[in-house]
Amino acid sequence: MVIILGIDPGSRITGYGVIRQQGRQLIYLGSGCIRTQADDLPTRLQRIYAGVTEIITQYRPDSFAIEQVFMAKNADSALKLGQARGVAILAAVNNQLPVFEYAARQVKQSVVGTGAAEKKQVQHMVCSILKLLSHPQADAADALAIAITHCHFNQNLARIGEPELSLAKRRLR
């Protein structure tokens, strides 16, 4: 049983999603958004850090997965996004969580089956995979998708490692 915290960072709205992986089954634990007011950037960053720390304390995840920065059209927006990611990652590291990063296209490919998927498609598949009765907010759905992606990559890595492990055991006998 592994608990994963997924984060969709943003300087105004940071989405979070928490799931538990039990074997091949994914169980929804919670999701939501950390909203910052129109305060100055340092105050918003402090709110993101405090919010992520609070979520970590509440759910006690084993892994932390976050979306990588993409190239934004506006350099100022990309810098603010990078700073929001930084404080979220700092909260994870300060709580001794391993940090995993995934590109937006990787997340869409993992959850929907195509890296060019639209937000509504991601929301729909998140609901389907986690058996949710209603759509979470867009940023929370993205965070859940990031957590789901981490589970998919984790399962694939485990499968890749299994034959090597069994081969290594045979050599020791």
DSSP secondary structure of 7-42: EE--SSEEEEEEEEEETTEEEEEEEEEEE--S--HH
> Residue 66's pLDDT is what?
98
> Residue 26's pLDDT is what?
97
Please pick, among 8, 39, 76, 164, the residue that the annotation labels catalytic.
8
Active site (annotated) includes residue 40: no
In order of their start, the domains of the chain are 2-172 (3.30.420.10)
> Residue 125's pLDDT is what?
96
Say how many C-beta atoms besides its own lie within 10 A of residue 115's C-beta.
Answer: 13
Please pick, among 39, 54, 67, 76, the residue that the annotation labels catalytic.
67
Between residues 159 and 14, the one the model is more confident about? 14
Q: What is the pLDDT of residues 126-158, one digit of tens each?
A: 999 999 999 999 999 999 999 999 999 886 554
> Residue 69's pLDDT is what?
79
Active site (annotated) includes residue 39: no
Residue 112 DSSP symbol:
T
Active site (annotated) includes residue 164: no
| Contact of 95 with 53, CB cutoff 8 Å | yes
Q: What is the pLDDT of residues 60-111, one digit of tens each?
A: 999 999 999 776 678 888 899 999 999 999 999 999 999 999 999 999 999 9
161 sits in which H/E element:
helix 138-172
Please pick, among 54, 118, 139, 162, the residue that the annotation labels catalytic.
139
pTM of the model: 0.88
